[in-house]
Protein backbone atom coordinates (compact mmCIF):
# COMPACT_ATOMS: atom_id res chain seq x y z
CA UNK A 1 0.00 0.00 0.00
CA UNK A 2 1.20 3.50 -0.78
CA UNK A 3 0.87 5.98 2.05
CA UNK A 4 0.39 9.22 0.13
CA UNK A 5 0.95 11.52 3.10
CA UNK A 6 4.34 9.93 3.78
CA UNK A 7 5.31 10.07 0.11
CA UNK A 8 4.47 13.77 -0.07
CA UNK A 9 6.39 14.50 3.10
CA UNK A 10 9.44 12.65 1.80
CA UNK A 11 9.22 14.30 -1.60
CA UNK A 12 9.14 17.72 0.07
CA UNK A 13 12.26 16.74 1.95
CA UNK A 14 13.87 16.11 -1.44
CA UNK A 15 13.94 12.33 -1.32
CA UNK A 16 14.37 11.19 -4.93
CA UNK A 17 12.59 7.87 -4.52
CA UNK A 18 9.47 9.57 -3.20
CA UNK A 19 9.56 12.08 -6.07
CA UNK A 20 9.90 9.23 -8.56
CA UNK A 21 7.02 7.29 -7.01
CA UNK A 22 4.73 10.32 -7.08
CA UNK A 23 5.47 10.87 -10.76
CA UNK A 24 4.75 7.21 -11.35
CA UNK A 25 1.33 7.79 -9.78
CA UNK A 26 0.82 10.52 -12.38
CA UNK A 27 1.95 8.29 -15.23
CA UNK A 28 -0.35 5.50 -14.17
CA UNK A 29 -3.26 7.81 -13.40
CA UNK A 30 -3.32 5.93 -10.10
CA UNK A 31 -6.34 6.20 -7.80
CA UNK A 32 -4.13 7.84 -5.13
CA UNK A 33 -3.38 10.71 -7.50
CA UNK A 34 -6.22 12.91 -6.27
CA UNK A 35 -5.06 12.66 -2.70
CA UNK A 36 -1.44 13.24 -3.73
CA UNK A 37 -2.30 16.37 -5.74
CA UNK A 38 -4.40 17.76 -2.90
CA UNK A 39 -1.53 17.24 -0.47
CA UNK A 40 1.03 18.74 -2.86
CA UNK A 41 -0.99 21.80 -3.87
CA UNK A 42 0.01 24.09 -0.97
CA UNK A 43 3.69 23.61 -1.82
CA UNK A 44 3.47 24.38 -5.52
CA UNK A 45 3.71 27.60 -7.51
CA UNK A 46 7.31 28.39 -6.69
CA UNK A 47 9.31 26.76 -9.45
CA UNK A 48 10.35 28.65 -12.56
CA UNK A 49 9.65 26.37 -15.52
CA UNK A 50 11.55 26.49 -18.79
CA UNK A 51 10.43 24.53 -21.84
CA UNK A 52 13.03 23.55 -24.44
CA UNK A 53 11.84 22.46 -27.83
CA UNK A 54 13.17 21.98 -31.35
CA UNK A 55 13.72 19.35 -34.00
CA UNK A 56 15.35 16.04 -33.09
CA UNK A 57 19.12 16.39 -32.99
CA UNK A 58 19.40 20.17 -32.53
CA UNK A 59 20.91 19.65 -29.10
CA UNK A 60 18.03 19.93 -26.62
CA UNK A 61 19.33 17.23 -24.29
CA UNK A 62 22.89 18.52 -24.48
CA UNK A 63 21.65 22.05 -23.76
CA UNK A 64 19.43 20.82 -20.94
CA UNK A 65 22.38 19.11 -19.33
CA UNK A 66 24.55 22.21 -19.74
CA UNK A 67 21.77 24.36 -18.24
CA UNK A 68 21.51 22.02 -15.28
CA UNK A 69 25.24 22.57 -14.68
CA UNK A 70 24.83 26.33 -14.98
CA UNK A 71 21.95 26.44 -12.50
CA UNK A 72 23.80 24.14 -10.14
CA UNK A 73 26.69 26.61 -10.17
CA UNK A 74 24.13 29.18 -9.01
CA UNK A 75 23.25 26.82 -6.18
CA UNK A 76 19.73 26.06 -7.35
CA UNK A 77 17.88 22.78 -7.02
CA UNK A 78 16.96 21.72 -10.54
CA UNK A 79 14.32 19.42 -11.99
CA UNK A 80 14.35 17.97 -15.49
CA UNK A 81 11.33 16.50 -17.18
CA UNK A 82 12.08 14.87 -20.53
CA UNK A 83 9.02 14.12 -22.58
CA UNK A 84 11.08 13.25 -25.62
CA UNK A 85 11.21 9.46 -25.76
CA UNK A 86 14.56 9.57 -27.55
CA UNK A 87 16.09 11.76 -24.86
CA UNK A 88 19.18 10.38 -23.16
CA UNK A 89 17.39 11.24 -19.92
CA UNK A 90 15.00 8.47 -20.93
CA UNK A 91 17.89 6.11 -21.42
CA UNK A 92 17.37 5.75 -25.14
CA UNK A 93 20.40 7.65 -26.29
CA UNK A 94 23.90 7.14 -27.50
CA UNK A 95 26.40 6.12 -24.91
CA UNK A 96 28.27 9.43 -25.10
CA UNK A 97 25.14 11.34 -24.18
CA UNK A 98 24.30 9.04 -21.36
CA UNK A 99 27.76 9.46 -19.95
CA UNK A 100 27.28 13.23 -20.03
CA UNK A 101 24.02 12.91 -18.08
CA UNK A 102 25.93 10.98 -15.43
CA UNK A 103 27.37 14.33 -14.36
CA UNK A 104 24.04 14.93 -12.68
CA UNK A 105 23.03 11.38 -11.83
CA UNK A 106 24.65 11.46 -8.41
CA UNK A 107 23.79 15.08 -7.57
CA UNK A 108 21.11 15.05 -4.84
CA UNK A 109 19.99 18.53 -5.90
CA UNK A 110 19.06 17.41 -9.42
CA UNK A 111 15.86 15.50 -10.16
CA UNK A 112 15.64 13.96 -13.59
CA UNK A 113 12.58 12.22 -14.86
CA UNK A 114 11.38 11.14 -18.25
CA UNK A 115 7.84 10.52 -19.34
CA UNK A 116 6.64 8.49 -22.25
CA UNK A 117 4.66 10.53 -24.73
CA UNK A 118 2.26 7.87 -25.84
CA UNK A 119 -0.03 5.40 -24.22
CA UNK A 120 -1.26 7.81 -21.60
CA UNK A 121 -4.83 8.14 -20.55
CA UNK A 122 -5.61 11.70 -21.49
CA UNK A 123 -2.09 12.29 -22.74
CA UNK A 124 0.52 14.85 -21.98
CA UNK A 125 -1.91 17.71 -21.50
CA UNK A 126 -2.50 16.73 -17.92
CA UNK A 127 0.34 14.33 -17.09
CA UNK A 128 3.16 16.80 -17.77
CA UNK A 129 1.71 19.63 -15.62
CA UNK A 130 1.13 17.22 -12.75
CA UNK A 131 4.66 15.87 -12.96
CA UNK A 132 5.79 19.50 -12.81
CA UNK A 133 3.75 19.97 -9.64
CA UNK A 134 5.59 17.08 -8.02
CA UNK A 135 9.01 18.54 -8.91
CA UNK A 136 7.83 21.98 -7.81
CA UNK A 137 6.71 20.71 -4.42
CA UNK A 138 10.01 18.83 -4.09
CA UNK A 139 11.68 22.24 -3.96
CA UNK A 140 13.06 22.45 -7.49
CA UNK A 141 13.63 26.16 -8.11
CA UNK A 142 14.07 25.67 -11.83
CA UNK A 143 12.43 22.94 -13.90
CA UNK A 144 13.61 22.28 -17.44
CA UNK A 145 11.16 20.50 -19.70
CA UNK A 146 12.63 18.96 -22.84
CA UNK A 147 10.10 18.14 -25.54
CA UNK A 148 10.74 17.30 -29.15
CA UNK A 149 9.33 19.98 -31.42
CA UNK A 150 7.18 17.68 -33.46
CA UNK A 151 3.65 16.79 -32.53
CA UNK A 152 0.98 19.10 -31.27
CA UNK A 153 0.91 18.00 -27.65
CA UNK A 154 4.70 18.03 -27.26
CA UNK A 155 4.87 21.59 -28.56
CA UNK A 156 1.98 22.58 -26.29
CA UNK A 157 3.81 21.27 -23.25
CA UNK A 158 6.84 23.41 -24.09
CA UNK A 159 4.61 26.41 -24.71
CA UNK A 160 3.02 26.03 -21.27
CA UNK A 161 6.28 26.80 -19.48
CA UNK A 162 6.99 30.19 -17.90
CA UNK A 163 9.65 30.66 -20.55
CA UNK A 164 9.91 28.72 -23.79
CA UNK A 165 13.24 28.19 -25.51
CA UNK A 166 13.20 27.20 -29.18
CA UNK A 167 16.42 25.62 -30.41
CA UNK A 168 17.69 25.55 -33.96
CA UNK A 169 20.92 24.37 -35.52
CA UNK A 170 22.63 25.26 -38.78
CA UNK A 171 22.25 23.05 -41.78
CA UNK A 172 19.02 21.39 -40.79
CA UNK A 173 16.68 23.56 -42.81
CA UNK A 174 15.42 24.42 -39.37
CA UNK A 175 14.22 27.92 -40.05
CA UNK A 176 11.66 26.76 -42.52
CA UNK A 177 10.72 23.73 -40.49
CA UNK A 178 10.23 25.79 -37.37
CA UNK A 179 8.01 28.23 -39.22
CA UNK A 180 5.97 25.35 -40.57
CA UNK A 181 5.54 23.70 -37.21
CA UNK A 182 4.42 27.02 -35.74
CA UNK A 183 7.08 26.91 -33.07
CA UNK A 184 8.45 30.36 -33.85
CA UNK A 185 5.38 31.86 -32.19
CA UNK A 186 6.03 30.12 -28.89
CA UNK A 187 9.70 31.10 -28.54
CA UNK A 188 10.58 33.57 -25.78
CA UNK A 189 14.28 32.86 -26.25
CA UNK A 190 15.88 31.42 -29.38
CA UNK A 191 19.05 29.38 -29.34
CA UNK A 192 21.11 28.64 -32.42
CA UNK A 193 23.10 25.67 -31.19
CA UNK A 194 26.07 24.00 -32.88
CA UNK A 195 27.61 27.40 -33.48
CA UNK A 196 30.87 25.53 -34.03
CA UNK A 197 29.45 24.51 -37.40
CA UNK A 198 29.27 26.47 -40.63
CA UNK A 199 26.08 28.36 -41.19
CA UNK A 200 25.27 29.33 -37.60
CA UNK A 201 25.42 33.03 -38.43
CA UNK A 202 23.24 32.51 -41.49
CA UNK A 203 20.70 30.59 -39.40
CA UNK A 204 20.67 33.35 -36.79
CA UNK A 205 20.22 35.99 -39.53
CA UNK A 206 17.43 34.04 -41.18
CA UNK A 207 15.73 33.61 -37.84
CA UNK A 208 16.11 37.27 -37.02
CA UNK A 209 14.56 38.09 -40.36
CA UNK A 210 11.62 35.75 -39.84
CA UNK A 211 10.95 37.04 -36.34
CA UNK A 212 11.18 40.61 -37.62
CA UNK A 213 8.49 39.91 -40.18
CA UNK A 214 5.93 39.58 -37.41
CA UNK A 215 3.71 42.41 -36.34
CA UNK A 216 5.35 45.59 -35.15
CA UNK A 217 6.07 45.37 -31.47
CA UNK A 218 4.98 47.98 -29.01
CA UNK A 219 7.32 49.62 -26.56
CA UNK A 220 7.73 47.35 -23.56
CA UNK A 221 6.97 44.21 -25.59
CA UNK A 222 9.32 41.32 -25.14
CA UNK A 223 11.75 41.01 -28.00
CA UNK A 224 12.98 37.38 -28.12
CA UNK A 225 16.78 37.30 -28.08
CA UNK A 226 18.78 34.92 -30.27
CA UNK A 227 21.70 33.29 -28.46
CA UNK A 228 24.38 31.24 -30.20
CA UNK A 229 25.71 28.25 -28.29
CA UNK A 230 28.00 25.27 -28.54
CA UNK A 231 26.12 23.23 -25.98
CA UNK A 232 28.46 20.28 -26.34
CA UNK A 233 31.23 22.50 -24.91
CA UNK A 234 29.03 24.58 -22.64
CA UNK A 235 29.74 27.72 -24.67
CA UNK A 236 27.08 30.40 -24.60
CA UNK A 237 25.10 28.61 -21.92
CA UNK A 238 25.63 31.37 -19.35
CA UNK A 239 24.20 33.78 -21.93
CA UNK A 240 21.14 31.54 -22.23
CA UNK A 241 20.71 31.64 -18.45
CA UNK A 242 21.04 35.42 -18.62
CA UNK A 243 18.36 35.61 -21.33
CA UNK A 244 16.10 33.36 -19.24
CA UNK A 245 16.53 35.54 -16.17
CA UNK A 246 15.76 38.65 -18.21
CA UNK A 247 12.61 37.07 -19.58
CA UNK A 248 11.54 36.01 -16.14
CA UNK A 249 12.06 39.55 -14.83
CA UNK A 250 10.06 40.90 -17.78
CA UNK A 251 7.23 38.43 -17.05
CA UNK A 252 7.10 39.53 -13.45
CA UNK A 253 7.24 43.22 -14.27
CA UNK A 254 4.32 42.93 -16.69
CA UNK A 255 2.15 40.66 -14.59
CA UNK A 256 2.64 38.03 -17.27
CA UNK A 257 4.08 35.37 -15.00
CA UNK A 258 0.87 35.18 -12.99
CA UNK A 259 -1.21 35.43 -16.18
CA UNK A 260 0.67 32.59 -17.84
CA UNK A 261 0.31 30.43 -14.78
CA UNK A 262 -3.42 31.08 -14.62
CA UNK A 263 -3.74 30.16 -18.30
CA UNK A 264 -1.76 27.01 -17.66
CA UNK A 265 -3.94 26.11 -14.68
CA UNK A 266 -7.08 26.68 -16.75
CA UNK A 267 -5.77 24.34 -19.44
CA UNK A 268 -4.88 21.79 -16.81
CA UNK A 269 -8.34 21.91 -15.26
CA UNK A 270 -9.91 21.57 -18.69
CA UNK A 271 -7.72 18.60 -19.58
CA UNK A 272 -8.54 16.83 -16.31
CA UNK A 273 -12.25 17.55 -16.66
CA UNK A 274 -12.23 16.24 -20.23
CA UNK A 275 -10.35 13.11 -19.23
CA UNK A 276 -12.81 12.60 -16.38
CA UNK A 277 -15.82 13.07 -18.64
CA UNK A 278 -14.31 10.78 -21.24
CA UNK A 279 -13.74 8.11 -18.62
CA UNK A 280 -17.29 8.44 -17.31
CA UNK A 281 -18.71 8.27 -20.81
CA UNK A 282 -16.52 5.24 -21.45
CA UNK A 283 -18.02 3.65 -18.35
CA UNK A 284 -21.43 4.13 -19.93
CA UNK A 285 -20.75 1.70 -22.77
CA UNK A 286 -23.40 -0.89 -22.34
CA UNK A 287 -25.29 1.40 -19.97
CA UNK A 288 -29.06 1.38 -20.33
CA UNK A 289 -29.43 5.18 -20.43
CA UNK A 290 -26.99 5.43 -23.34
CA UNK A 291 -28.66 2.48 -25.09
CA UNK A 292 -32.04 4.20 -24.85
CA UNK A 293 -30.63 7.48 -26.18
CA UNK A 294 -28.92 5.63 -29.03
CA UNK A 295 -32.12 3.91 -29.95
CA UNK A 296 -34.00 7.21 -30.10
CA UNK A 297 -31.28 8.82 -32.24
CA UNK A 298 -31.18 5.82 -34.57
CA UNK A 299 -34.94 5.99 -35.00
CA UNK A 300 -34.85 9.72 -35.66
CA UNK A 301 -36.84 10.45 -32.52
CA UNK A 302 -34.02 12.53 -31.08
CA UNK A 303 -31.14 14.45 -32.63
CA UNK A 304 -27.58 13.51 -31.61
CA UNK A 305 -26.90 16.93 -30.01
CA UNK A 306 -29.96 16.66 -27.82
CA UNK A 307 -28.90 13.15 -26.88
CA UNK A 308 -25.35 14.29 -26.06
CA UNK A 309 -26.74 17.13 -23.91
CA UNK A 310 -28.87 14.65 -21.99
CA UNK A 311 -25.92 12.35 -21.56
CA UNK A 312 -23.60 15.08 -20.25
CA UNK A 313 -26.30 16.50 -17.98
CA UNK A 314 -26.84 13.02 -16.56
CA UNK A 315 -23.13 12.64 -15.90
CA UNK A 316 -22.67 15.92 -14.12
CA UNK A 317 -25.87 15.81 -12.04
CA UNK A 318 -23.98 13.78 -9.60
N1 LIG B 1 28.97 20.02 -33.17
C2 LIG B 1 28.12 20.08 -32.16
N3 LIG B 1 27.39 19.01 -31.83
C4 LIG B 1 26.52 19.11 -30.81
C5 LIG B 1 26.35 20.32 -30.09
N6 LIG B 1 25.39 20.12 -29.15
C7 LIG B 1 24.99 18.85 -29.28
N8 LIG B 1 25.66 18.22 -30.28
C9 LIG B 1 25.50 16.83 -30.74
O10 LIG B 1 24.31 16.72 -31.48
C11 LIG B 1 23.72 15.44 -31.26
C12 LIG B 1 22.27 15.58 -30.81
O13 LIG B 1 22.25 16.21 -29.53
P14 LIG B 1 21.02 16.02 -28.52
O15 LIG B 1 21.32 16.90 -27.37
O16 LIG B 1 20.80 14.59 -28.23
O17 LIG B 1 19.83 16.60 -29.40
P18 LIG B 1 18.24 16.55 -29.13
O19 LIG B 1 17.70 15.44 -29.97
O20 LIG B 1 17.73 17.86 -29.60
O21 LIG B 1 18.03 16.34 -27.67
C22 LIG B 1 24.60 14.73 -30.26
O23 LIG B 1 25.46 13.87 -30.93
C24 LIG B 1 25.34 15.86 -29.59
O25 LIG B 1 26.58 15.44 -29.09
C26 LIG B 1 27.13 21.44 -30.45
O27 LIG B 1 27.06 22.52 -29.88
N28 LIG B 1 28.00 21.27 -31.50
MG1 LIG C 1 16.86 14.92 -26.66
Asked if residues 254 and 162 have their Cβ atoms less than 8 Å apart, the reply is no
227-277 pLDDT tens trace: 999 999 999 999 999 999 999 999 999 999 999 999 989 988 988 888 888
Q: Band of the pLDDT at 88, cuts 50, 70, 90?
A: low
Strands (E), the chain: 48-54, 78-82, 110-114, 142-148, 163-168, 189-192, 226-228
In this predicted structure, the answer to whether residue 122 has a pLDDT above a threshold of 60 is: no
Atom of ligand 1 nearest to the CA of 88: 16
Spacing, Cα 218 to ligand 2 middle (Å): 35
Does the structure show a pLDDT above 50 at 95? no
Mutate to test the pocket of ligand 1, among 89, 147, 232 (most ligand atoms within 8 A of CB): 232
Q: Is the pLDDT of residue 135 over 80?
A: yes
Between 45 and 2, residue with greater pLDDT: 45
Q: Check residue 83 and give its pLDDT.
A: 80
Q: Which ligand is nearest to the CA of 194?
A: 1
Per-residue confidence band for 179, with pLDDT thresholds at 50, 70 and 90: low
Q: Whose C-alpha lies nearest to ligand 1, atom 13?
A: 59
Q: What's the pTM value of the predicted model, to 2 decimals?
A: 0.88
* Span of 98-102, 188-192, 219-223 with lowest mean pLDDT: 98-102
Residue nearest to atom 7 of ligand 1 (CA): 59
Provide the terminal-to-terminal Cα distance of the chain, rounded to the nearest Å: 29
| The pLDDT value given to residue 118 | 54
CB 60 less than 6 A from any atom of ligand 1: yes
Taking residue 86's Cβ as centre, other Cβ atoms within 10 Å add up to 13
- Greatest mean pLDDT among 157-161, 167-171, 174-178: 167-171
Give the integer Cα–Cα distance in Å for 164 and 73. Answer: 22
Residue nearest to atom 3 of ligand 1 (CA): 194
Whether the CB-CB separation of 222 and 250 falls below 8 Å is answered with: yes
Contacts of 177 (CB under 8 A, 6+ apart): 55
Question: Ligand 1 within 6 A of 196 CB?
Answer: yes
97 lines ligand 1 (CB under 6 A): yes
The CB of 59 under 6 Å from ligand 1? The reply is yes
Q: Which atom of ligand 1 approaches the CA of 86 most closely?
A: 19
Going by C-alpha positions, the residue among 124, 117, 121 that lies closest to residue 282 is 121
Residue ranges of domains in the chain, CATH in brackets:
1-42 (no CATH), 44-254 (3.40.50.300), 267-317 (no CATH)
Q: Which run of H or of E encompasses 65?
A: helix 60-73
- 247 Cβ inside 6 Å of ligand 1: no
Amino acid sequence: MIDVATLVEQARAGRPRAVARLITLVENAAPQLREAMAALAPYTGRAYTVGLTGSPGVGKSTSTSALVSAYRRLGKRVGVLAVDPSSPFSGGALLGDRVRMQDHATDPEVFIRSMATRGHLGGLSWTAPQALRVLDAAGCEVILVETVGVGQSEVEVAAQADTTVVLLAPGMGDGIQAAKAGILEIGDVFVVNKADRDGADATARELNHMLGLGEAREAGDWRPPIVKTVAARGEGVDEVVEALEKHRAWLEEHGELAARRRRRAAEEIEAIALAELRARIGDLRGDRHLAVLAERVAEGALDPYGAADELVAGLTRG
